[in-house]
Structure 1
Amino acid sequence: MLSEKELLNILDNKEKVNVEFKEAKRGVPKSIYETYYSFANTNGGMIILGVKEIKTGTAVNYEISGVENANSIISDFWNTINSGKVNRNILKDADVYSLTVQGLELVILHIPRALYNQKPIYIGSNPYAGTFKRNFEGDYRCTKESVNSMIRDSFQNAGDNEILEWLNIGDLDKNTIAVYRTRFRNNNEGHIYEELSDKDFLTKMGAYRFDKKRNIEGVTSAGVLMFGKTETFNEIYHNVNLDYRDETNLFGDMRWSDRIIENGLWEKNLYNFITKVYPKLISEFPVPFQMKDSLQRNDETKLQVAAREALVNSVIHADFKEESCSILVIKKDNYISYSNPGLLRIPIEQIYQGGVSVPRNITLQKLFRFIGFGESAGSGYDKILAPSRAEGFQVPELYENQDMRITNLKLWIVKKEHGALSGALEKPNHILNEKEQIVLNVIREFPNLNRKKIFEKTKIPLTSLDRYLDKLIALDLIQKKGSRKTVSYNVKNTDI
């Protein structure tokens, strides 16, 4: 319960997105119910009855006016909530109470955020007409798409186990399945699934399913997402874009220095996307040199694990049935941004506390977990927070865009006291990734090399080599001499 001091502080701060004042002198205002639905369907909030709004020009202030009979107002409110006017009552007795402030009675209503399987909360019998949400402008009626999203989320296992009975194993990409199974064997040595046929293996993993009750079988939605051929993926998920952009080391009018999108050169599915993107995300991190394969290391840093967990989270929590749907990963100089369609199924503060996870796509979570991508239920976000808790990095920022129904995570790859990737380490040569270090070593060993000679010795593609050279120059580690065709490179500080 609020204290008088706490309420006066709220009053001084005026109305916010999660606080609503109502005058309510003699009864329950009708508009209170729209606010109740709005808070419940968004992030919760507080309604305070007995406060009058006073406008002076453009200024708005609030004054305690009190209610005449708090008990009567509370009783009327409960009667309405329980009468069928609202489809579901999510309040407890302790959420509604009276409070005396400056000798006047007020009524306080704490509205929690509804659980994902309780939404939508709406008035009457039609969710498309009676569902509201809340933003900084107040309460607003939800669109049909927003209501559909809440209805989908209300089913525990509606994410990725749907049987697509017109599809068979031939609609999946054999090479993706083969590569996945190789990684599965490496990660689960001696597992009893190793000797199964592809169909039996995919059935065990949830990518193919039999429904005896309905007498149907077929590839599941998770199977298409994880292993689908491009044409199969686009047939079922024509709305889904998979997009990675590297926006580091830009100069001139460059919009990105590297990008992964559908281009006909790889089969569009989540396995290929994730395994292509992850190495690029950590390519400029300090990289341990002892490796199991290109994706998993014996000696991974907390930051690498966090980057991988965040990447997997963006797909296991995604709502792939949203009309406008992009898995968008952007690498910046200071942070990595992960965006996925669909709002969080539990409150942000609960996620930060750890130990709880309610993914939409349970089968995808299983498929990634078996190859070492993704932690057990509830521990994934703990891994994402680990660099900030243990190593001084900035705390990741988790954000929901209620209007666009998008969740965004910003994973900082800098420490609090620094403003660039170099902030994570102390010595200049330690801020380089493995390939940048190779370039630096070659230039140190063979002074006055030109670009072509460096390429011949390192075999690093010229587009990447140019970026590495630019970075080494910017860090004052090397210098170039000459112009155009006569340009050569030397180490600037031989003590490094």
Structure 2
Amino acid sequence: MIDFSKIEQYRENNRIEAKKALGGLPKSIWETYSAFANTYGGIILLGVEELADKSFRTVDLPDPEKLIKEFWNIVNNPNKTSVNVLSSKDVFVQEVDGDHIVVINVPRAERSYKPVYVDGNPLCTYRRNGEGDYRCTKEEYQAMVRDASVKTQDMLVLEEMDMDVFNKESVRSYRQRMRLSRPGHVWEALEDEDFLLKLGAVGIGSDGKKHPTSAGLLMFGNEYDIVREFNTYFLDYQEQYDADTRWTDRIISSSGDWSGNVYDFYFRAYNKLIQDIKVPFKMEGSVRVDDTSVHQALREALANCLVNADYYGRQGLVIIKKRDAITMANPGGFRIGIDAAKSGGVSDPRNGAMLKMFNLIDIGERAGSGIPNIFRVWREQGWVMPAITEQLEPERTILTLCFEKTADKKSAIKIGDKKSAISTKMKESIIGYLTDHAEAKASSIAEYIGLKPSRTRDYLNELIAEGIVVAEGGNRNRSYKLKS
């Protein structure tokens, strides 16, 4: 929430929109309402004007209660908005230095309500990018419609395909892994077709015959059949160890020398990811244990990336391994808020049938504990906390796992040093936090970016030297804010 006593320090961004509104309820408010609901949520301020230097100044609305009444009448009109995602506490009058303004807190809409559109026209669906609203492409609209379905995307029975799409070696390998994970399982004696039917990889079509499901095709199909249904399907693993070379090792689904399906890609990519993970010597009885919490976290992260991808989306799924970091990017946004995902307890996979298939061979978590476990492991290792970001146009989710120690004395920062270890990404995160918070202490910022306060203060000192941030107070009372 905004600190209204310091409103002049805020700026418009992807979560804040200011409108003067002296002439009544602005027509453009509905585009912003749709955009906030379809993106991350946000706050609309009526009675606030944006000055030439981008700072805010309040004006006294002559009749704020009338504006609120008009807003409620329109937002509840199905001919104007597809759904009202607000509650009564989300709209109120706020007094700021004697001026009366209206605050409208638009929450992020649940996926079942999306897309939130206006004027009774699904083509009038908006999203927020930076400090502006934009009309969604047909592709973005269709992605929201798919995600709104009660059934997950991968439950669709593909009646135009037959059982020949399955790669027999992939199915054999999966069944062998399941025997090891769940010996004596009731499905063990079934023939392949009946096993795949029980698994959810096969469904019965309207013709009464067996056909692959989307999940079955993605997990066990051949790439040349997968792209018939998922035209932009592409899986890509890259190792980028040399700055002068685009990649030093690569696995792509379209190479033609392997199946190209999700199941086989998982194990090929995972075996590459763990090659540099140090394994301490540990024995259980007479058997050496080569599995660590880091291995488990990487399995969770990779499975999470694969089961939450929108395989109809553009640009494919890309895993990049560097010496000091791994990034996993998949098409499609988060179906729940990132904060909720970090907290755990909520599971809403885009491809639920695929998650079940991974679960049966002891990969992946259904109870919503996967992402919290990844953060816990990184915290225990003393590494910079993982970063989850959502990207629009096209919609993608990116997980970054860094192997840099948060309190590495050898990487102490010196102002003006060209070899400074401060990353542009960390500074942008701090600026973004101070955009949403008029001022904050180093401890609050540190918690947000996942670093220790001492390291965070080094980043803040760099930003102060660059004239972006200013510090007020001393010692324990010191706070930071963006320079006016």
Same fold (TM over 0.5): yes
**CA offset at residue 328 of structure 1?**
0.5
Q: Give the SS at the match of 2:316.
A: strand
Q: Given the alignment of the two structures, is residue 206 of structure 1 paired with residue 200 of structure 2, yes or no?
A: yes
Aligned residue number for residue 122 of structure 1:
117
| Residue-by-residue CA offset, 1:276-308 (whole Å, 9 max, x unaligned) | 11011010001357799xxxx955222211111
| 1:148 maps to amino acid | Q
Match of 2:322 in 1: 332
1:309 has 2:300 as partner: yes
Question: 2:269 is matched with which residue?
Answer: 277
Task: Quote how far apart the aligned CAs of 1:39 are.
Answer: 0.6
1:49 to 1:373, Cα distance in 2 relative to 1, 3 A: same
How far is the alpha carbon of 1:413 from its aligned partner? 2.5
Q: CA deviation at 1:167?
A: 2.5
The answer on whether the counterparts of 1:288 and 1:300 sit within 8 Å (CA) in structure 2 is: no
In the aligned structure 2, how far is the partner of 1:10 from the partner of 1:275? 52
Please say if residues 339 and 406 of structure 1, whose CA atoms lie closer than 8 Å, have aligned partners that are also in contact.
yes
Aligned-pair distance for 1:215?
A: 4.0
In structure 2, what is the equivalent of residue 231 of structure 1? 224
Aligned-pair Cα RMSD in Å: 2.2
Residues 298 and 124 (structure 1 numbering): CA distance in 2 closer, same or farther, change over 3 Å? Answer: farther
Aligned match of 1:353 in 323, 329, 343?
A: 343
Instruction: Work out the CA distance in 1 between the residues paired with 2:255 and 2:281.
Output: 32
Task: Report the equivalent of 1:403.
Answer: 393
Q: Which residue of 2 aligns with 1:259?
A: 250
2:160 corresponding residue in structure 1: 166
User: What residue number does 1:245 align with?
Assistant: 238
Structure 1 residues 407, 291: CA separation in 2 closer, same or farther (over 3 Å shift)?
farther
**1:329-371 Cα deviation digits (max 9, x unpaired):** 0001111100101111111111111121211100100111111
Give secondary structure in 2 for the equivalent of 1:127. Answer: coil
Partner of 1:12: 9
Which letter maps to 1:279?
N
Distance in 1 (CA, whole Å) between partners of 2:409 and 2:136 is: 40
2:20–2:49: 8 Å Cα contact kept in structure 1?
yes
Match of 1:82 in 2: 76
Residues 398-417 of structure 1: per-residue CA shift (max 9 Å, x gap): 01111211111001233223
The answer on 1:412 being equivalent to 2:402 is yes
Q: Distance in 2 between matches of 1:63 and 1:255?
A: 49
1:320 aligns with 2:314: no
Distance 2:7 2:13 in 1: 9
CA contact (8 A) 2:61 2:99 kept: yes
How far apart in 2 are the matches of 1:289 and 1:162?
A: 46
- Asked if the contact 2:329–2:398 (Cα under 8 Å) also holds between the matched residues in 1, the reply is yes
Q: Using the alignment, how far apart are the partners of 1:153 and 1:170 within structure 2?
A: 29
Q: 1:49 to 1:355 in 2, by over 3 A?
A: same
Mark the CA change 1:36 to 1:411 in structure 2 (over 3 Å): closer, same or farther: same
Question: Partner of 2:54: helix, strand, or coil?
Answer: strand
Contact 1:245–1:329 (8 Å) recurs in 2: yes
> Would the aligned equivalents of 2:115 and 2:141 in 1 still touch at CA under 8 Å?
yes
Letter aligned with residue 162 of structure 1: L
C-alpha distance 137-98 of structure 1, shift in aligned 2 (>3 A): closer
Partner Cα distance (1:419, 1:312) in 2: 34
SS of the aligned residue for 2:51 comes to strand
> Where do 1:92-491 residues align within 5 Å?
92-128=87-123, 130-210=124-204, 215=208, 217-248=210-241, 250=242, 253-261=244-252, 262-287=254-279, 298-322=289-313, 324-418=314-408
Map of 2:468 onto structure 1: none
Paired letter, 1:134: R
Larger radius of gyration: 1
The structural deviation recorded for 1:163 is 0.7
Query: What is the percent sequence identity of the aligned residues?
Result: 39
- Normalising by the residue count of structure 2, what TM-score does the alignment of the two structures yield? 0.80
Structure 1, 34-43 or 23-32: larger mean CA deviation:
23-32
Structure-1 separation of matches of 2:95 and 2:307: 47
Note if contact 1:307-1:411 (Cα within 8 Å) is conserved in structure 2. no
Displacement of 1:37: 0.8
2:142, 2:89 → 1: CA distance? Answer: 31
SS at match of 1:407: strand
CA distance in 2, matches of 1:330, 1:305: 18
- Indicate the residue corresponding to 1:464 in structure 2: none
For CA contacts below 8 A with separation 6 or more, give which structure has more relative contact order: 2
2:351 maps to a residue whose letter is N
Q: CA deviation at 1:88?
A: 0.5
Q: Tell me, in whole angstroms, the C-alpha distance in 2 between the residues paired with 1:283 and 1:235.
A: 34
CA distance in 2, matches of 1:271, 1:83: 47
* Alpha-carbon distance change, 131 to 419 in structure 1, aligned in 2, over 3 angstroms: farther
TM-score of the aligned structures, taking structure 1 as reference length = 0.78
Count residues with an aligned counterpart: 406
The whole-number CA distance in structure 2 between the counterparts of 1:307 and 1:219 is 29
Gaps of 5+ in 2: 411-484
Q: What is the rounded CA distance, in whole Å, between the counterparts of 1:272 and 1:14 in structure 2?
A: 48
CA distance in 2 between counterparts of 1:120 and 1:65 reads 33
| Residue range with higher mean Cα deviation, 327-336 or 155-164 | 155-164
Return the offset for 1:156: 2.4
Matched, 1:52 2:49: yes
Alignment of 1:4-43 (within 5 A): 6-43=3-40
CA-CA distance at 1:137 after TM superposition: 4.1
C-alpha contact 1:185 1:194 (8 A) present in aligned 2: yes
Letter in 1 for 2:116: I
Structure 1 residues 414 and 387, CA, compared in 2 at 3 Å: closer, same or farther? farther
How big is each residue's C-alpha offset from its partner over 1:173-219, in whole Å with a ceiling of 9 and x where there is no partner? 1111001100000000111111111111111110001257x745311
